[in-house]
Structure 1
Amino acid sequence: MIQLAEIQGYGPSLFAVAGRRVVRLTEADAAVLQRLLSRCDDYFEMLEGRPAGPTAALEQLRDAPGGCLPDDIVHLGILGRDGELLGLIGALRHHCRPDQWYLGFLLLDPAWRGRGVGSTAYWAFQQWAAAQGAQSIVLAVLKDNERAHRFWRSLGFGDPRSYPVRQIGLKRHILIEYEKNLVG
């Protein structure tokens, strides 16, 4: 269970998802994020062929393509009413163009999946990103993850592009990239 001291350590709410605060995460929040990632072992088994490692949160918080500015990396935590981390949204501003964002993560605690929180979280994120200047959002889905393909297409993502096989952890995957234009 999250202690009150950890709840008070979060910064201001950037937006809300289903009445829950969404805050920017920093390395100081690694322990809280690590607990969420550990509850999401099913995702890491599918992606990497193994559970989230003991340093997965710090690796996630520090992961950035070369040449990125620190403000371009966005890690957002969806907080439960008691401050428990229910979800992670990870994005990169200025992906290939100044107005394009890359959505790298929308990860929910298994107890919160299948309740509409994922789509609610995405719509709130999209509105927030658009207010920050995003005109399109790009994301990639594992070719074999049909549930994710259906989810993202239902939210208006299209123009799929396939990329060559890539090693991720212990597994090899083909990624399918989708894009959604937010204007016009």
Structure 2
Amino acid sequence: MSELSLPTCSVAGLGVRKLTLEDAPLLYAFFEANPDYFMLVEGGPAPLEQAEEELLGELPPGWNYSENWMLGYQPADAPLVAVLQFVTDLVAPKLWHIGRLLVATDLHDSGIAQALYHDFETWARSQGADWLRVCEVQNNPQAGRFWREQGFTHVRTNEGVQVGWLIHTADILFKPLNGGTLEQYLALIEQNHPKQSDF
């Protein structure tokens, strides 16, 4: 895939950019300042090396994809206030997987998460994405509600999903961007995605 443009950001005062390995200290500072997600989902605070590992963007062997992105949102000359990680063409062309959308704890319930997601969805569609996919662990019900409120639909539930130190039951959710059906989505997954590696 050719290099994508960057999405716009509709939140006043925030800029968006693609984070690179050089941004690992900035990303780790965000993880450290906002530990609630990691405590709940991974069983402890994010270790120092996690920021670098996530920016390297490597997926497990056997996963076909175009690129693993991490977007950072921040005011000018200030720390990050949100990050969005996603993978393009995961398993099948035009199927994008959202790994995480994290907003600073003090901005929860401000509407920023919804605005950033809307910006991202509009941009993803303009870049050729037909499907969006997320995986949410059931002990994080606030995130599950968020994605359903954005129009995502439950596909299936996976048991025994390890995230960090914890083992979870996780829900797979999807959203068609251009009128696709669940049957069409499942056909993509069945043909291209080994179930033993699913998350």
Q: Which residue of 2 aligns with 1:25?
A: 19
Distance 1:171 1:91 in 2: 22
Q: Which residue of 1 aligns with 2:9?
A: 16
Are the equivalent residues in 1 in contact too, given 2:70–2:85 (CA < 8 A)? yes
Structure 1 residues 31 and 133, CA gap change in structure 2 (3 angstroms):
same
Q: Which residue of 2 aligns with 1:39?
A: 33
The structural deviation recorded for 1:64 is 2.3
Structure 1 residues 135 and 31, CA gap change in structure 2 (3 angstroms):
same
* Residue type at the aligned position of 1:16: C
- How many residues were matched structurally? 173
- What secondary structure, in the 3-state scheme, does the structure 1 residue paired with 2:128 have? coil
Structure 1 residues 126 and 81, CA gap change in structure 2 (3 angstroms):
same
The structural deviation recorded for 1:160 is 3.1
Are the equivalent residues in 2 in contact too, given 1:137–1:180 (CA < 8 A)? yes
Structure 1 residues 27 and 70, CA gap change in structure 2 (3 angstroms):
farther
Structure 1 residues 112 and 142, CA gap change in structure 2 (3 angstroms):
same
Distance 1:71 1:24 in 2: 15
Distance 1:129 1:156 in 2: 15
Distance 2:46 2:172 in 1: 24
Could you list the per-position Cα deviations for residues 69-120 of structure 1 after superposition, in whole angstroms to 9, with x for gaps in the alignment? 8961111001124332111100000012111100001011111111000010
> What is the TM-score of this pair, normalised by structure 1?
0.87
The structural deviation recorded for 1:164 is 2.2
Taking the TM superposition and a 5 Å limit, the aligned residue runs for 1:93-172 are: 93-172=88-167
* Residues 1:175 and 2:170 are matched in the alignment: yes
> What is the TM-score of this pair, normalised by structure 2?
0.81
Q: Which residue of 2 aligns with 1:56?
A: 50
- Partner of residue 92 from structure 1, selected from 63, 75, 87: 87
Regions of 4+ moved over 4 Å: 67-71
Distance 1:73 1:174 in 2: 24
Q: Which residue of 2 aligns with 1:4?
A: none
